[in-house]
Amino acid sequence: MPPELAADLSRAIGGDQIVPHFQPLVDLRTGRLAGFEVLPHWHHATAGIIHPSAFMPLAEQTGLIGRLTDNLLRRATSAAAAWPGHLTLSVNLSPVLLRERALAQQLRAASGGTGFAFDRLVFQLTEAALIGRLDLTRISAGELKALGARLALDDFGTGYARLPELVALRFDRLKVGARFVRSMLARHDSRKMVAAVIGLGHTLGVASVATGVEGQAEADMLTSLGCDLAQGGRFGQPIPAEAVTAHLSAGDPPWRPLRAPVAIVGDMTQRLAAVPGGSVGGLHALSDNAPAGLGLVDANLRYLTLNRRLADMHGAPVADHLGRTVAEMVPHLYRQIAPHLMRAASGQTVDSFELRWQGPGGTADEHVLIVSYAPVRDAADAAAGVAVAVVDITALAGTSGKRCWAATADAGSRIPGLTGRQSDVLRLLATGRSVMEIASQLDLGVSTVRTYLSQAYRALGARNRTEALIQSGLMVRGRT
């Protein structure tokens, strides 16, 4: 780097020659524009376009990084003040700046006169910012959040950040590094890394952002993995503020992605890398002509695939399910099915519980469903997802509203954690039979039946009949 470039950089900042360009950030599930990342653009008089990776380190070394960041933030927020209010601006913060005690107030002052709300700003920190004076970084980050701004951890996965630091700094977004995204179609380890970052985001309750998304295949895979936001060539390169304004005014921004449905079963080895080959092969048996609603959710309870019958039960197209959580697709049922789903996600089979369900769109007809969940395991025998099966038995149940366990109570399948006899006794109890009736049907003494019930209660960690039936999956909470 020529030594005179430092002097040129100072003059460029003072003369507003370094201007912000804006790269679109898109919501993968809706295809809508969510905001922009602000990137500095310097067109040098003699050297031509100088990439930020060349002059940003120089700004840090020469003490110009504060002026450069203030100038860039002022220009960016001024240009974006008239854009739709839901659009955010993501601005990179140098680790050098994070150790300045007055940083938050300086940034607030830089954008304060532009009319752009401070809570629409997302300040991006690299993992390198977490090395060294973490105490000062935590103070600056806390003050920025107190003023309403959000924080994103950029290029996550390079190996510096630890989970306690992520929790302590209260990040709002985790950004997946472009090198993992660009190679995930071809490399198993990259797919695992991307899935792990997205999964960590779900666990922490923060949004995941994929960078370097260049093609539709990458966007589809990210959607099915549950990624929230994405940026890259697929959605648009950085452009000047005037071009953004023109596109927004036209009402049809060029970065809007097509909402092409992700293949239901195709290439599932990539979409759920943890599922063993045999399980993936079994997914090809999913058929729209099957008598049951069938589906597969990942460990974060996001739909990876399902057949049309299950989608019709939910009242939404198959494509609208993919990448979305069970809670998003059936919010009116989620409180009832969540305990069973969680058990299956932890590795327990949940066999045949009854669910009463109102038809899609609030129709008056009540459906009686038998639902089963089975854990899907990876090569290390760890739970990696849940297979879902739903059978509508409304016609068999009739209209009397009675529970329909008579057809299944004697099936002899064992409830997880119980012996076969304990399972038989508890299943008959769920049908409304008394202890004496159970004893008569199973040819046992009344005291023996009571002993089996007490043992089942203890094994399930239940204090009474209702808790035992709920824990075993034989009763839906809130129903008798």
Strands 173-176 and 150-156: parallel
Does residue 356 share a domain with residue 431?
no
CA torsion, ordered 83, 84, 87, 92, to nearest 10 deg: 20
Q: How far apart are CA 175 and CA 198, in angstroms?
A: 9
Name the one residue in this structure whose structure tokens are 């509203």: 401
> Residue 264: which pLDDT band, with cuts at 50, 70 and 90?
very low
Total Cβ atoms within 10 A of residue 123: 26
Whether pLDDT at 433 is above 70: yes
115: in domain = yes
Whether pLDDT at 359 is above 60: no
> Residue 190: which pLDDT band, with cuts at 50, 70 and 90?
confident
Q: How far apart are CA 230 and CA 211, in angstroms?
A: 6
Q: Could you give the 3-state DSSP secondary structure of residue 254?
A: coil
Does residue 464 share a domain with residue 371?
no
Amino acid at 138: R
Tell which of 343, 370, 401 closes a domain: 401
Rounded to the nearest 10 degrees, what angle do helices 52-61 and 65-80 cross at? 130
429: in domain = yes
For 220-245, what is the mean pLDDT?
90
Q: How far apart are CA 318 and CA 83, in angstroms?
A: 34
Tell which of 401, 436, 461 closes a domain: 401
Question: The CATH number of the domain where 22 resides is what?
Answer: 3.20.20.450
Does residue 246 share a domain with residue 273?
no
Under a CB-based contact definition with an 8 Å cutoff, are residues 150 and 179 in contact?
A: no
Tell which of 250, 284, 317 closes a domain: 250
Does residue 427 share a domain with residue 367?
no
> Residue 93: which pLDDT band, with cuts at 50, 70 and 90?
very high
- Give the pLDDT confidence score for residue 381 in this predicted structure: 60
Question: Which structural domain, as residue segments, surrounds residue 479?
Answer: 405-480
For 74-94, what is the mean pLDDT?
94
- Give the pLDDT confidence score for residue 365 in this predicted structure: 62
Q: How far apart are CA 210 and CA 213, in angstroms?
A: 7
Under a CB-based contact definition with an 8 Å cutoff, are residues 307 and 288 in contact?
A: yes
> Residue 445: which pLDDT band, with cuts at 50, 70 and 90?
confident
258: in domain = no
Q: How far apart are CA 136 and CA 338, in angstroms?
A: 41
For 40-49, what is the mean pLDDT?
82
Beta bridge partners of 125: 153
Does residue 433 share a domain with residue 307?
no
127: in domain = yes
Does residue 478 share a domain with residue 448?
yes
Does residue 159 share a domain with residue 234?
yes
Give the tens place of pLDDT for each residue, 403-422.
333 333 333 457 888 887 88
Under a CB-based contact definition with an 8 Å cutoff, are residues 307 and 283 in contact?
A: no
Does residue 167 share a domain with residue 92?
yes
Of residues 16 and 151, the one with the higher pLDDT is 151
Q: Could you give the 3-state DSSP secondary structure of residue 155?
A: strand
Does residue 435 share a domain with residue 336?
no
Does residue 25 share a domain with residue 153?
yes
**Which of 113, 25, 8 lies closest to 68 in space, CA to CA?**
8
104: in domain = yes
Of residues 13 and 22, the one with the higher pLDDT is 22
Among 248-262, 316-330, 431-445, which range has the highest average pLDDT?
316-330
- Give the pLDDT confidence score for residue 152 in this predicted structure: 94
Q: How far apart are CA 389 and CA 115, in angstroms?
A: 53
- Give the pLDDT confidence score for residue 324 in this predicted structure: 87
Does residue 393 share a domain with residue 460?
no
Question: The CATH number of the domain where 438 resides is what?
Answer: 1.10.10.10
> Would you give the DSSP letter of residue 373?
E
Total Cβ atoms within 10 A of residue 106: 14
Does residue 229 share a domain with residue 350?
no
| Structure tokens, 215 | 């093609």
Of residues 327 and 360, the one with the higher pLDDT is 327
Name the one residue in this structure whose structure tokens are 């990084």: 65
- pTM above threshold 0.85: no
**How many domains does one find in the chain?**
3
